[in-house]
Structure 1
Amino acid sequence: MVTKFPLRDILRNKEANGHIFKWAIELGTYSIEFRSRPTIKSQALTDFIAEWTEIQEPITATCPEHWVMYFDGALNINGASAGILFITPTKDKLRYVLWIHFLASNNATEYEACLHGLRIAVELGVKRLMVYGDYALVINQLKKDWSYSSEKMDAYCAKIRKLEGKFYGIEYYHMVRDQNQLADQLSKIHSSRAAVSPGVFVQDLLAPSIIEEKEVEEVPLAEQLVLVVPSSVTDWREQFIKYLTNAKVPIDKTKTEHVIR
C-alpha cells in the first residue's frame, strides 16, 4: 500500500502517481466532501468499539439441569419387583431392577420403587429431579393432593419427605401406563424370569424400608412382656391330652361330647 511510504517518495514515484490519478478519476463520480475531523465524544467511541468488537456469549454460572426418573412396581404370583429408569441431562439412561423378597401390596411395591429411586439419585449427587409414575395413588399422595389411606402409606411418605430435603428441587408427575413402558419392562424382569440385560443394576430388598429403618429403641429380652398363666387356671389343652393318652373324659356329658368331637 502506498500509505506505507513517505509522501515525498509517493509524489516522485511515477507508478504511484498513476495509481493516484486513476483513483481520482474513479472517485470523481461521487460527491465526496472533505472536512476536518471533529472531536470524537466518549459515547461515540464507546459505540464504535461496541459495534466492531466481536460479540461473546455471557459467562453464566454453571447450574445442574434436571434429571428425570421413571419408576414402576409389579406384583404377581411370582412375587414383587420394581423398575427404575434415570435419564441424565445428557440423555444417558441408567436402569435399575429391585427384587423384593418379602410380602408386599401394590401400594408398598410402588412406594419401595419410588423410595429407592430417590436414594439412588441422592447417591448419584442429583440435585434437581423430575419423578414420573403411573400409579395415581402414590403420585397424588406425594403431591399432597390425596390423603394417606393407611399408617403404612404414611410411613412411606415420611421416609420420602426426608429424602426430598437433599434436593434443590423435586417434582412429581402422573403419567399413563403406556408412556411408562421402559420402567414397566424393568419391573417385570424378575417375574418373567427373563435374563437381565448388560448395564442393568440389580438390587435385592430383603425387608420393607419402613421396618428395617424404623427408629425405635430395642427393648432388652429380659424386659419384654411375658404372658404368665396362673397356676389356678386349668390349661384348656389338658382335657384333650388326657383323652388321647388315657381315654379319660370329663364328668360332664356335654364336655365329654365336645372333647370326643
Structure 2
Amino acid sequence: MAALSRFISGLSDKYHAFFRTLKNPKDFQWTEECESALHKLKAHLTTPPHLSKPLLGAVLLLYLAVSEHAVSVVLIREEGSKHLPIYYVSKALLDADTRYCHLEKLALARKLRPYFQAHPIVAVTSFPIKLVLHKPKVSERLAKWALELGEYDVIFRPATALKSQVLADFVAEFSPALLPALEQEVCLRSETNEEGEWILHVDGSSNVRGAGLGIVLTSLTGNTASRAMRCNFKATNNESEYEALIAGLTLTHQMGAEKIQVFGDSQLIINQVQGEYQAKDDSMIQYLAVAQRLIKKFKSCKLTQIPRKQNSQADALANLGSALETHSQMSIPLLVLQWPTTLEEPPSEEVSAVEEGETWMTPLVRYLETDILPENSNEARKIMKQAVRYCISQKKLYRRSFSRPYLRCATPREAAGILVELHEGDCGSHSSGRNLVLRARRAGYYWPTMAADADIQTKHCDQCQRHAPVSKLPPENLKSISSPWPFRKWGMDIVGKFPMVPGQKVFLLVVTDYFSKWVKAEALSRTTDLQILKFLWTYVITRFGVPHEIVTDN
C-alpha cells in the first residue's frame, strides 16, 4: 500500500478508516466504513492515473491539502492548459504531528526533495506560508524547516480557480472542520491584526523634593511596561502631568502602537488636550503643542479622566513610593530628564531624510516584501538562500544570529557611524578590528563587510596611530654570523671541469673566508692532495695563520 501512494491522490486521507483497522489486529472490527473504503480502493486501482515525466529544468507546481488525519501533496507540470501529475505524496499525521499548528502542517511536504534539487518549484497556496516562515517570532521547528527550504528554488504563488480533474482533491487546502481554527490562527499570526488599543496610564507629581513621572503601558497581549522618571528641573504639578503624558506618548509610539487609550487623573490636562479647556499660561501652551503633535502620530488616541484610586500604579511610580500592588519582584529603570521637552525644537516638515539609494539590503527587502527577485538566475537563487536568515519587523531588516537574538541590519552610512562611536566615542576603547566587530555584534548590528570596515577604521584612527606602541623590530630579518672573527673559518670548493685553457688547466680551486668574505682562486690541471696542500700553504697559512675550521663538500 505504501508503494501505491505515489499513484493515488490523498491515499492516507481517503482510506484512513481502512488503515486504522489494519493497525489494530487485536481489536479488529470490520465496519461498513472499512468495506466502503476497500471498494473505493479497488475501483481506483482499476483506472489508475497516468503519471507524467518531468522535463529537464521545467517549472513544477506544488499543491497541498490538509485534513484531520493526513497531509496530501501533488507535484504537476503544465503543458498548455493541461495539468499533468508527476508524483503524489500522502503522509498520515502521527500523534505529535496532529498537535502542530495548521500552517505548520503545510510545510511537511519535504519528501519531494529530489525534485526540489533539479527543478524550480512554485508552491500554490492561498495561505501566508512565506510570511509565517520569515516572521521574527518563529518556532524552532519552523526556523529549521525554513533553512531546509531556503536551499531550493521554491516560490510561493497565490492559488487561482482549479478546473483540472487531477486537482479535484486539492481545491480546498484544508478540510471544513479545520477552517474555524485556521482562520483564528491566521489572524493571530498576521502582523496587521492589531486592531485593539494599547492602554496607557500616566501621572505626575511635584513636591519640595522635586518632580516625578509615572507611566504604565499595557500592550495588546497583556504585557506591562512601567517607567519611573525624575525631573532634574523645577516643574509645577501641571507641568509634571504634561511631562508624564508626553513621555508616555513617546514610549508608546516607539513600541509601534497605532491605537492607544490614555488614562490620567488630571482634569485640567485631559480637558486641555481634548480642547474643552483653554490653555492661557505660556508654559501650558507650549506643553499642549508638544502633546498634540505626538497625538497626530497615532491613528486613534482617546483620553479619559479617571479617579486617582484607579490610577494608583502610575501615582505610586510618580511619587517614587512603594504602593505597587504586586507580590513579584519588579525592576523599574529610573530615567532622568535634563531639560524640559518644550526646549526641543519640533522637526521641520521641509527637511527630508538623505536617501542612500540601493544598498546590500535592497534585494533582500524586495524579496521579503514583494517577492521580486533579480533577473539573473544565479543572483536570484543566492537571494532566496540568504533570505532565510532575514526578517522584517516594523519596516526594518533584521538577521537571525547563531545565538538566536536578532541583529539590526545597517546601511553603509549607518555602519560608518556605528564603528566611529564604538571605536572612539564616549564608551570607545580604541580596540582592534576583531574586537570592534564583536562589540558591534553585541550591540545588535550586522552588515556583511563588518571585518573589513573595522580594520579600515582602526588603521585610519589618528589617536591609535599616535599612541600605539613603537615597534623595535629591525626593517629586515637578522642574519647570524657564522664566524666570530676574521680568517677563523674557511670554505673550500673545487669547480669544474671547464673547457681546457693554456697549461691544460680545467679545474678551479676556490677558498672563501666566512667573516670577511675574502676570496682566493687558482686554476689547476689536476686536483691532487699535494696541489691542494700547496695552495692552502701559499695563500692561507702563510698569510693569515692556521685556520680553525675548513668546510668543504668534497
Question: Following TM superposition, by how much is the alpha carbon of 1:171 offset from its aligned partner in structure 2, in angstroms?
Answer: 0.6
Q: Helix, strand or coil: the match of 2:288?
A: helix
Match of 1:113 in 2: 244
Aligned pair in 2 of structure 1 residues 158, 191: CA closer, same or farther (>3 Å)? Answer: farther
Name the CA distance, whole Å, in 1 between partners of 2:214 and 2:263.
Answer: 12
Q: Decide whether the 8 Å contact of 1:76 with 1:191 is kept in 2.
A: no
Match of 1:154 in 2: 285
**Aligned partners of 2:249 and 2:294 also within 8 Å:** yes
**Which structure 2 residue ranges, 5 or more long, are not aligned?**
1-31, 40-174, 324-328, 349-554
Residues 127, 214 of structure 1: alpha-carbon distance in 2 compared, 3 angstrom cutoff: closer
Report 1:33-182 matches (<5 A): 53-54=176-177, 56-57=179-180, 58=183, 62-64=192-194, 65-182=196-313
Please report how far the alpha carbon of residue 214 of structure 1 lies from its aligned counterpart in structure 2 after TM superposition: 6.5
Does the 8 A contact of 2:316 with 2:322 survive in 1? no
Aligned counterparts of 1:107 and 1:95: Cα–Cα separation in 2? 21
Instruction: Tell me if structure 1 keeps the 8 A contact 2:264–2:306.
Output: yes
**Partner AA of 1:171 in structure 2:** K
Cα shift at 1:165: 2.0
TM superposition shift of 1:55: 6.6
> What corresponds to 1:203 in structure 2?
335
C-alpha RMSD of the superposition: 2.8
What secondary structure does 2:179 align onto?
coil
Report the AA paired with residue 56 of structure 1: L
Cα distance in 2 between the residues matched to 1:97 and 1:53: 51
> Is residue 128–residue 170 contact of structure 1 (8 Å, CA) maintained in 2?
yes
For 1:78, the aligned partner's letter is R
Cα offset, 1:63, TM superposition: 2.4
The offset of 1:91, in angstroms, is 1.3
CA deviations over 1:81-104 (Å, ceiling 9, x no partner): 110001111111100011101111
The letter for the 1-side match of 2:263 is: Y
Length-normalised TM-score, structure 1: 0.58
Q: Is the 8 A contact 1:99 1:190 kept in 2?
A: no
Residue by residue over 1:204-236, the C-alpha shift from the partner in whole angstroms, topping out at 9 and shown as x without a partner, is 1111111243689xxxxxxxxxxxxxxxxxxxx
Separation in structure 2 between the aligned mates of residue 215 and residue 123 of structure 1, nearest angstrom: 16
Alignment length (residue pairs): 167
Matched, 1:213 2:345: yes
Identity of aligned residues (%): 27
Q: Which has the higher contact order (CA 8 A, sep 6+)?
A: 1
Opposite residue 115 of structure 1, the aligned amino acid is I
Q: Verify the 8 A CA contact 2:229 2:318 in the aligned structure 1.
A: yes
Separation (CA, whole Å) in 1 of partners of 2:231 and 2:176:
63
Shift of 1:151: 2.1
Question: What secondary structure, in the 3-state scheme, does the structure 2 residue paired with 1:200 have?
Answer: coil
Q: 1:163 to 1:215 in 2, by over 3 A?
A: closer
Over 4 Å off, 4+ runs: 1-5, 58-61
- Give the 3 Å change call, closer, same or farther, for CA 71–53 of structure 1 in structure 2: closer
- 1:6-25 to structure 2, matched below 5 A, reads none
In structure 2, what is the Cα distance between the partners aligned to 1:162 and 1:191?
34
Change (3 A) 1:55 1:129: same
Output the amino acid matched with 1:146.
Y
- CA deviations over 1:113-162 (Å, ceiling 9, x no partner): 00011111111111111000000000011111111131211111111111
